[in-house]
C-alpha cells in the first residue's frame, strides 16, 4: 500500500528555515517523480516543486531561490528545505507522487504538514 507521511512543520519566525520530510512506503521515491503542493489556510492548491527520477528539479516562481527539493534514497524520503520564510509561505504542505513524465498529475497524496510563518 502506498503511503506518504509528511513531518517537520511548525511555527517559525519570518526569515527562518525549516525542513519538511515526506516518508514514503509501498514504492520507491527515487523511481518516481515527486512533488510538493501547498495550500494556504482557506485557499486553493498551489504547486511548489517537483523532482524528476533523473534528479532534475523545478520550482514555482514564488519559492525559487529559497526552497530546495531533494530525496534520500536510503531512507526513501522526500525533503523540502525552506529558507528565508515569509508570512505568505504559511500553508499546509503536501507531498504527492506524480504519475509519471508523460502525465504529471498526482495520484497519491500525504495528509500534509502545517507550516506557520509568524513572529
47 binds another protein (CB under 8 A): yes
- Shortest gap between Cβ of 50 and another protein (angstroms)? 7
Parallel, antiparallel, or unpaired for β 3-7 and 18-25?
antiparallel
Residue placing its CB nearer to another protein in the complex, 15 or 43:
43
> Of 21, 109, 114, 116, which lies in the binding site for another protein, with binding defined by CB under 8 A?
109
Q: What is the DSSP string of 65-103?
A: TTEEEEEETTTTEEEEEE-S--GGG-EEEEEEEEEETTE
Pattern of binders to another protein over 55-94, x per CB under 8 A?
A: ---xxxx--------------------------------x
Amino acid at each position: 500500500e502506498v503511503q506518504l507521511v509528511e513531518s517537520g512543520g511548525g511555527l517559525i519566525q519570518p526569515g527562518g528555515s525549516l525542513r519538511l520530510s515526506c516518508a514514503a512506503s509501498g514504492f520507491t521515491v527515487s523511481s518516481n517523480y515527486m512533488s510538493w503542493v501547498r495550500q494556504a489556510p482557506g485557499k486553493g492548491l498551489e504547486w511548489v516543486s517537483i523532482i524528476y527520477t533523473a534528479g532534475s528539479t523545478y520550482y514555482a516562481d514564488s519559492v525559487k531561490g529559497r526552497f530546495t527539493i531533494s530525496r534520500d534514497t536510503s531512507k526513501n524520503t522526500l525533503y523540502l528545505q525552506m529558507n528565508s520564510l515569509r508570512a505568505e509561505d504559511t500553508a499546509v504542505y503536501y507531498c504527492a507522487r506524480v504519475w509519471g513524465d508523460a502525465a504529471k498529475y498526482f495520484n497519491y497524496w500525504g495528509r500534509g504538514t502545517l507550516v506557520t510563518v509568524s513572529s
